[in-house]
Structure 1
Amino acid sequence: MEALTRASMNVCPFVKSTSTQAMRKLANNSGLITKAQVCPVLGPALQSKREYSTPSKVVQAQASDNLAKAPASATAAAVTSSAQILNNFNSNEAAFDYDGSFKDQVSKKREDKSYRYFNNINRLAKEFPKAHLAEEDDKVMVWCSNDYLGMGKNEKLLQVMNKTMLKYGTGAGGTRNIAGHNRHAIALEGELAALHKKEGALVFSSCFVANDAVLSLLGQKYKDLVIFSDELNHASMIVGIRNSRAKKHIFKHNNLEQLEAQLAMYPKSTPKLIAFESVYSMCGSVAPIEAICDLADKYGALTFLDEVHAVGMYGPHGAGVAEHLDFEAHLKSGVASPNYKTVMDRVDMITGTLGKSFGTVGGYIAASANMIDWIRSFAPGFIFTTTLPPALMAGTTESIRIVRRNIEDRINQQLNVRYVKKQFADLGIPVIPNPSHIVPLLVGNAADAKQASDALLEQYKIYVQAINFPTVSTGEERLRITPSPHHSKEVSDQLIEAVDSLWSDMRLKRVADWENIGGHCGVGKLNAKPVENLWTDELLNLRNGDLNENVIDPIVRQLETSSGVRV
């Protein structure tokens, strides 16, 4: 209809010779319809019944306007005219079947076995890592939680949250722009900046929101920006890059040669950003952070590092893999910065979550003071999102301080991970090789992965969620196991025995079977180099007493960027 209107403005003698004001007047008093009826084109069209859909809302609005503005004596004629017009615009077509479309699309997911059913898992704080199902006496052992250190049950954290909630209530009352700032946000952002040894930090409702908000803002503000993204990046980063509308290049996972070739396509003066993760949660691989920083320096790019699955578990204080790479220096300096530029210093932006190792919920970004103030001032994902509740922020601040000074939790987790991986290796259970805390068991198809997950839950009271498309590619379906410091040897042995029996009962491929077909996802690959764990044997001998005393109860300065920098 819009195209017809535009065309008529050029060819119709009446439209070309009539002013906009006159046309509007004719439309208001129904004179336009009279004129149209004598038109050789529109006249016959108005007399015939249309065979296609037309927006009825517009026609109804015209009729309503006519009745409202017409003189009282003309009301009856206007009603008759309006009814005739509505009748002429009736459609023989049925409305789109939205509900049927939804059902069809979900049915396709059921057919390809990628449909996901959420089990009723109720984590028990006092019995972690246990949970109960629908009935409280029906308990299972959870082996796939991202509460990697079990901080969700920490007594000190629970006390702080309860005390804060009773004093300040359950919610923040709105966004910071509306409800104002508070001491809990100031303290938390100061703690996060200190953890990553950055000038500033900003808290979001989740790290998904943080990644989307920051990446999309960068592309929208810098129109010439080119983003280089690892092919295995999390969905939040993919969405943020897409929403940025920036030009992008996707490089193969951890492939520095391809990344450099892509970077070299542009002048150094062109704004660039390399987006990647430290630990990739579904396969457990780790990014070559220092080498990526080298390329960023060489080609003039910013670095955006997602440490979601690394904070709390790597580095002497739990700041992530970037801290881990200068382990000795950070161990000695504690909350202070080493006397040289570390890998963590070289990374421009670090994002992380509060909902995994820190045991609460939320996300954040740590960066320079200027960048944090810029994001705070321009990112819709921050400006228009309700602030996290005071109790949650206070509890998270306490959690970060506990995690920082407790290296033994990180070490005990790694010891449990090593034990589980070794036992599986001895039994030929196909663990996708990696240097991190993730234990992915390769299954290879969605139906078997779902059946294996169900069998573990129903027969062995063990909860391990099946991972399928789109989280992983089709044909790479797996069970993802995440040992914590609280999974004892006895509990681990129960898991190992159950998985071994299940693999035999279902006749799932073991390592030798994958070898016979040339290997897959790193499993059964001949002449593969042994994987070196991030936590070395030497580091696993450390104890809390080896930490610098300044990490016990550090005084963390208030960040000016949290409230807004005063001029």
Structure 2
Amino acid sequence: MEALTRQSLSVCPFVKKHSTAAFKRMSQSSALVSQAAHCPVVGPAMKRGLATSAGATVAAPAASTASANTSFDFDALFQGDLAKKRSDKSYRFFNNINRLAAEFPKAHRKNEADKVTVWCSNDYLGMGRNPQVLAAMKTALERYGSGAGGTRNIAGHNRHAIALEAELANLHKQDAALVFTSCMVANDAVLSLLGQKIKDLVIFSDSLNHASMIQGIRNSRAKKHVFKHNDLEDLERLLKQYPKSTPKLIAFESVYSMCGSVAPIEKICDLAQQYGALTFLDEVHAVGMYGPHGAGVAEHLDFEEHLRSGIASPSRKTIMERVDMITGTLGKAYGAVGGYVAGKRDLIDWLRSYAPGFIFTTTLPPAVMAGAAAAIRYQRATLKDRVLQQQNTRYVKDTLRSLGIPVIPNPSHIVPILVGNAADAKKASDLLLEKHSIYVQAINYPTVPIGEERLRITPTPGHGKELSDELITAVVSVFEELNLKKVDAWEKEGGHCGVGLKGVAPMEHLWTDAQLALKDSDLNKNVVEPVIEGLEVSSGVRI
């Protein structure tokens, strides 16, 4: 009980507002135990039964007549939880950042004259200010208005949804696609429906999967196994526990956004085929960024074949075609908002017909869908943005490493800088913003595990050498001013998060030097303004 009291002193509103003398008076009667039951820290612990120093358990007291007639103290619960967030330094402050389209990657704060350089946006290619995207959105907005008018089931279908879903199906060389209001909704809707509708389905989930996938799996009520991140042996060990006839699904991402690691997609597809599993691939942080046409890592793994064939399917079955369902976002590299799933015709039609997350959600506005479709068409025929983004990323990563800054190694476009605790990560972020006019948000729990807090930097085509040098100088200055651990310090501790590990070969970039040397003129001519027919499945397949 003493340990609980000490913990409560820092977070519990009830404890804070009573004096020591008041507690002594209450301890002489049953009042202290009765009141403690309402504490957001002590109360739940008492109900669970905590071991005392003598090995006994403290049970929750029987409710008295007075407490039974007292309303639950919701405010105390909220205040207690918020206090805990502040106490463990995971409480989040949102900075007022207003991105300037005409000055990308600049933004202004509350005062428009107070400008900063944004280094943590997921608008990876700067498509949020692309002239073709803006023109398509303006045209649709002026003709069709600001909203969609409701769900597709009520307000009807429209040409923008048909065109966008056709573009997405073509991009991933799948039969069909279905657009949602976000990929958070798409992942939840698809995974939850699969588990609820497929009897005895077992889901195998990578340990670093995004919260949207975790939520969907939880809502599916299906049996699940979590395999170690990118660990094929652990995944196969779990798959082996079930006969091939048991329905299975492997859920994973291509690029894991907080560490930048990349999944072994082809080998996971091999295991899925061997053990009779469906594959669910989240390409949220890869669409627009990888492959000759921006379809993601699955396309990138067969780069030469897709480069030659353009919008057509290559002569052999590719890794991208082996994946059963691919989800992605329109809100990151494509600069708009929304999410989607692409796959076989019947699967997409089934999701359209049964998924509550699609059926009961107002569809995206016409202007948003028109802008997203324009972004996909632009990036399909444009290599230069992806190439420049990768070149800027390499420069930032390589230079920071050469200066001893602990960049978590990965082969992708993410530049995670290890800090190691929430308080220092917040201080570093604040110092970069206030002293150097550089905005990089601190990443802490629950986005990353406690002890793995970091700064997450995402270069874009607009972050050239001059801005990159400003960032690098500022990061080094902040590390020295706050006395943060550099690579040599992590090395002395045996390494952490891949930083400071001895005898580890440098990680190869996903984009090769030969691929980075390609020009837009090297693309197949059929990707330039292709005519793509609408899909029947978008509005229902007539029987």
Normalised by the length of structure 1, the TM-score is: 0.84
Q: 2:341 aligns to what?
A: 365
Counterpart of 1:56 in structure 2 is none
CA distance in 2, matches of 1:174, 1:228: 35
- The answer to whether residue 430 in structure 2 is matched with residue 471 in structure 1 is no
Mapped to 1, the partners of 2:171 and 2:475 lie a distance apart of 38
Q: Deviations over 1:440-474 (max 9, x none)?
A: 00000000000000000000000000000000000
Cα deviation, residue 557, structure 1:
1.4
State the Cα deviation string for residues 199-219 of structure 1 (Å, max 9, x = none). 000000000000000000000
Match of 2:533 in 1: 557
Say if 2:209 is the partner of 1:244. no
How far has the Cα of 1:91 moved from its partner?
A: 7.7
Q: Show CA shifts across 1:347-392 (max 9, x none).
A: 0000000000000000000000000000000000000000000011
SS at 1:117 equivalent: coil
What CA deviation, in whole Å up to 9, does each residue of 1:15-71 have, x standing for no partner?
xxxxxxxxxxxxxxxxxxxxxxxxxxxxxxxxxxxxxxxxxxxxxxxxxxxxxxxxx
| Cross-structure match for 1:23 | none
Structure 1 position 283 matched with structure 2 position 259:
yes
Instruction: Please provide the CA RMSD for this pair.
Output: 0.9
Which position in structure 2 is the counterpart of 1:450? 426
Q: Are residue 490 (structure 1) and residue 466 (structure 2) matched?
A: yes
Match of 2:357 among 365, 368, 381: 381
Q: How does 1:58-137 map to 2 (within 5 A)?
A: 93-137=69-113
Deviations 1:404-444 (A, max 9, x none): 11111100000000000011011000000000000000000
Q: Match of 2:513, SS?
A: coil
Q: Which has the larger radius of gyration?
A: 1
**Aligned match of 1:433 in 409, 414, 420?**
409
SS of alignment partner, residue 479 of structure 1? strand
Q: How does 1:278-317 map to 2 (within 5 A)?
A: 278-317=254-293
Distance 1:418 1:159 in 2: 32
Tell me the alpha carbon deviations over residues 123-143 of structure 1, each in whole angstroms, 9 at most, x when there is no partner: 001011100000111000000
Matching residue of 1:10: none
How far apart, CA to CA, are the structure 2 residues paired with 1:142 and 1:346?
37
Cα distance between partner residues in 1 of 2:276 and 2:163: 34
User: Which structure 1 segments of 5+ residues have no match?
Assistant: 1-88
CA distance in structure 2 between the aligned counterparts of 1:528 and 1:471, rounded to whole angstroms: 26
Structure 1 residue aligned with 2:35: none
Equivalent in the alignment of 2:308: 332
Paired position in structure 2 for 1:9: none
Instruction: Name the residue aligned to 1:36.
Output: none
Q: How many residues align?
A: 479
Secondary structure at the aligned position of 1:538 is classed as helix
1:145 to 108, 112, 121: 121
CA distance in structure 2 between the partners assigned to 1:331 and 1:231 by the alignment? 33
2:372 corresponds to which letter in structure 1?
A: T
What is the CA-CA distance between 1:90 and the residue it aligns to?
9.5
**Which amino acid in 2 is paired with 1:520?**
H
What is the aligned counterpart of 1:206 among 170, 182, 193? 182
Letter in 2 for 1:145: S
Aligned residue identity for 2:528: I
Paired with 1:174 and 1:90, the residues of 2 have a C-alpha distance of 49
Aligned equivalents of 1:495, 1:90: Cα separation in 2: 61
Counterpart pick for 1:547 among 517, 523, 532: 523
Structure 2 Cα separation of the partners of residues 227 and 529 of structure 1: 34
Q: CA deviation at 1:93?
A: 2.9
Matches of 2:505 and 2:537 in 1, distance apart?
A: 46
Q: 2:497 aligns with which of 521, 537, 549?
A: 521
Counterpart-to-counterpart distance in 1, 2:97 and 2:360: 32
2: distance between equivalents of 1:501 and 1:166? 48
Identity of aligned pairs, percent? 70
The alignment status of 1:185 with 2:156, answered yes or no, reads no
Q: Distance in 2 between matches of 1:444 and 1:91?
A: 44
Structure 2: runs of 5 or more not aligned = 1-64
CA distance in 1, matches of 2:198, 2:160: 33
1:163, distance to aligned residue in structure 2 (A): 1.1
Distance in 2 (CA, whole Å) between partners of 1:487 and 1:248 is: 42
| AA aligned opposite 1:481 | I
What is the match of residue 175 of structure 1?
Answer: 151
Deviation at residue 160 of structure 1 after TM alignment: 1.1
Structure 2: distance between partners of 1:314 and 1:292? 19
* Alpha-carbon spacing, 1:521–1:91, altered in 2? closer, same or farther (3 Å): closer
Aligned partners of 1:105 and 1:372: how far apart in 2? 41
CA shift at 1:92, angstroms?
6.1
For 1:247 and 1:372, the matched residues in 2 are separated by 23
User: What one-letter code is carried by the residue in structure 2 that aligns with 1:146?
Assistant: N
User: 1:488-520: CA deviations, max 9, x gaps?
Assistant: 100000000000011111110110110000000
* Alignment partner, residue 397 of structure 1: 373
Q: Which residue is 2:140 aligned to?
A: 164
2:502 aligned partner, one-letter code: L
Query: 434, 437, 460: which one pairs with 1:461?
Result: 437
